[in-house]
Structure formats: C-alpha cells, structure tokens
Structure 1
C-alpha cells in the first residue's frame, strides 16, 4: 500500500476517526479521483465539492483530506485555492488538461475500446475488467459509455470458436438493450467452455 497515507480526523460529526487517503501520482488520476470521491462522501464532505456548498468547517475537512493525498510539489501549485471545490477543480485541470486534451483522451479510449478483442489466453474476468477500465476512464472524463454499448462490445469481442453458441442463446432469451453489463459477464463467466 505504498500509494496510501494516513489522515487522522478528530471531528466526530464529520466522519470516521481514521481514514486512508490514496496518493495521487502522475499516472493514477482516474483511480485516485474515484477513491477520493468515495472517501469524501464517507467523511460527509463531498458536497463541499459537488455541488460546492459553503460550510467552513466541512470545507476545511475536505481540504485537509485532499492535501493528505497530493505531493508537496502539487500543494505548492494549487494550495492557495480558497475552497475544497476550487482545489479539486485545480487538481482535476492539472491532470485532465484542457478540453482539447480531454477530447483527445476520449477519442483514444473509444479507439481502444473499438480495437479490443478477447484473446484465447484472457479469462472472462480479465477481459471484462479491460472493458470496465476503459468505461471508468471515460466516465472520469465526464463521458459515460452506455451500458448497451458495453454489453454489445463484450459479446461481439468474445472468441467465436468458444462462445458463439452461448452468445446466440443469450441473444434469444434476453433483451440485450435492458440487460446490464455485469449480468452478461456473470452469465458468461458461469458457463462451462470446453
């Protein structure tokens, strides 16, 4: 757990006495942001960031947690922000970049998803994890990939020589427009392939 630091919070009304903060690095912004969002929710201070309520005490707790999760060099760059929301937005801007960079990243993710195929050496869980990872990265850039697209991509990317009969059966008995991604993955995972 080298990417986690310990933050102590003594405020009884605002959360647990001890919280593990993930450390932001140059390569883990997406996962860091997801973890911090949950941590700030558990600490009951996420609303100082979204929608950005003005509560000085809660703002200080959120700011302290954010400071615990970033390196000193970044604190020196963004630390003068006067609210947790502005601090969050400054960190986000530094790691997601301008709109053009964001758009380029989204295009890269879409292309990566389009090219993705399950190899014979992949397990169902590994392949589903790759699709979920791309979907999570896209969501962190504020572009949600529709569940039906994920389901379709998963089913059409399975090796046909192993899964064609299973996929055909699922297409006959399920409405793939309303079936969730995790449901399809679970059904494929629990099917014996010989």
Structure 2
C-alpha cells in the first residue's frame, strides 16, 4: 500500500460503513440523492458528474456501489456498460424516462406546482415539505425552480389568517434573497402564536357555556309552564265557544260540598255589599 493510499484509507470514509439505498420503481429522486452523498463521501462523485478523465480504480469502485444499490434484474444490463457514468445514465433513463416522456412529466409537475394550495388543517411545515418535494422532482427532470419563485408561490396561497404576516414579510424582507427555509420558519412562529390564541378562545367559550348551563339549571322552573297557566290559556282560548269540561276529581268533590239557594246560586254568609243586609245561612248554621 502506498503512502497516499494509506492516508486516504485512514482519513477518508470506509465504503463498508456507508448505507447504500435500494432503487425501486418510485424512489429514484431519493435514491439518486443518497447515492450522490455516498459518492461524495468516498470522493468519487466525479466518476458520475462530469464522468470524464476518471481513474479506472475509482470508476470500478463507483460501479461496485451502483451494482449493490439496484435490483438484480438490472445488474446484467448495467454491468455491460464500459463506465459507471454510462450505467448511471441508463438507470436515470429507465426510471425518469426518455426526453419526450420527461417533458410530459415536467409539464404535469409544473401544473401541479402552480395549482398547489393548502389543504384543510395542513400546517406550514407540511405544506413546505410538499412543495419542496415538487421542486426537487422537477430539478431531477431538468427543470429548475429558484427560491424566489417558490417563496412568492407560498405567500400567494397562504390561508387568510396569515394575511398580515405575509404583508409584513413582503414589506420588510428582501424577496430576492429570502430562502424557502427562512420563510417557513417565520410562518411557523406566527402559526404557533395563532394556535395559542385559539386555545385561549376555546377555553373561554367552554367556560361561558358551562356558566350558561349552570344558570339554566338554576332557573329552569321559570321556563316550565305550570298547571294554572295552562288552564288559564285554555279558558282564554275557549271564551267564545263552550268551556272545556274539566275532569278534576278534587274540583268535583269541592263543588259537591257547596250549598245552593233556590235559584241554584251558592249560599254566602255576611252582609250584602250593596244594601248592607245581613245574610244568614239557610241551613241555620
């Protein structure tokens, strides 16, 4: 082992210590990103980009990492390529598609980017992750969207409760240098303040409803119609026609004990209010 190789082995990253991702039909973007990180850790990313004037040993090392990160059915085809650069481009073509298919995908994702909006109950952080995933996928397909465009898009689709915050950011921040991460961070601070206010309002509303329930329980007898009021209403309603017949056993019994005169009127004792004559009980009592 030469002196240079010894220093690289002792100071660099060992290939066995890296975690190599497995390519699937749907994870090419994440797979390519992790592969690039591993190649840069091993200082062999130049074998892929630009892929020219590469040492054969570094090319074979990069090919080894590529072969262990793809499905078995792809390995014979990739192994037939002369360089890892050619094998990498083949993987990209198989997963991303040819130029025509790529252009269709780009247009579809651009339309999705322009129409993206906040979902009901979606947090600022979740929306930021969702829109940045679109941006990363578009970059993989060759379409780059810079941060100022993404920042303006996020500010345009913010929920109404962020209106004042958005205006403040547009007035006091440099929109040309503001990154998406900085914008999401500022909006998260405002979102946390909003949630605290909502909790306070909810707590006050809950206490108000509790106080109202207690008051109603205490005074509910005022809202319940009594028997006397019901009877009065019936009498008032039947004044023009026949009086409704009451089936009241207590009332019938009381009526049976009243003594009547020859004219059928109830007998009363005491002096007449008109003439002052003393009225006696006909029964002599």
Q: CA deviation at 1:171?
A: 1.0
Alignment pair present for 1:12 and 2:4? no
Q: Which moved more, 1:66-75 or 1:51-60?
A: 51-60
Deviation at 1:103, TM superposition (A): 0.7
Match of 1:159 in 2: 159
> Highest CA radius of gyration, 1 or 2?
2
Aligned residue number for residue 225 of structure 2? none
Distance 1:190 1:28 in 2: 32
Alpha-carbon offset, residue 185 of structure 1: 0.8
Q: For 2:76 and 2:159, how far apart are their aligned partners in 1?
A: 50
Verify the 8 A CA contact 2:46 2:54 in the aligned structure 1: no
| SS of residue in 1 equivalent to 2:39 | helix
Quote the residue 1:89 is aligned against: 89
Deviations 1:54-111 (A, max 9, x none): 2111111100000010011011232201111111011111111111111111111111
SS of 1:21's equivalent in the other structure is coil
Q: TM (normalized to structure 2)?
A: 0.62
Equivalent residues in 2 for 1:5-44, closer than 5 Å: 12=9, 15-16=13-14, 17-44=16-43
Worse-matched range after superposition: 71-80 or 24-33: 71-80
Q: CA deviation at 1:119?
A: 2.2
Structure 1 residues 169-178 or 124-133, which shifts more? 169-178
Q: Quick one: higher RCO (CA 8 Å, sep 6+), 1 or 2?
A: 1
- Does the CA-based 8 Å contact 1:62-1:84 persist in structure 2? yes
Structure 1 contact 120–159 (Cα < 8 Å) conserved: no
| Contact 1:119-1:159 at 8 Å conserved across structures | no
Q: Identify which range, 170-179 or 30-39, moves more after superposition.
A: 170-179
Tell me the distance in 1 between the aligned counterparts of 2:117 and 2:155: 10
4+ aligned runs moved over 6 Å, structure 1: none
Aligned residues: 183
Q: Is the 8 A contact 2:135 2:145 kept in 1?
A: yes
1:1-28 Cα deviation digits (max 9, x unpaired): xxxxxxxxxx827632421100000010
| Paired position in structure 1 for 2:60 | 60
Structure 1 match to 2:124: 124
8 Å contact from structure 1 (residues 118, 127) kept in 2: yes
Residue in structure 2 matched with residue 104 of structure 1 by the alignment: 104
Which whole-Å CA distance do the structure 2 matches of 1:56 and 1:145 have between them?
36
Gaps of 5+ in 1: 1-10
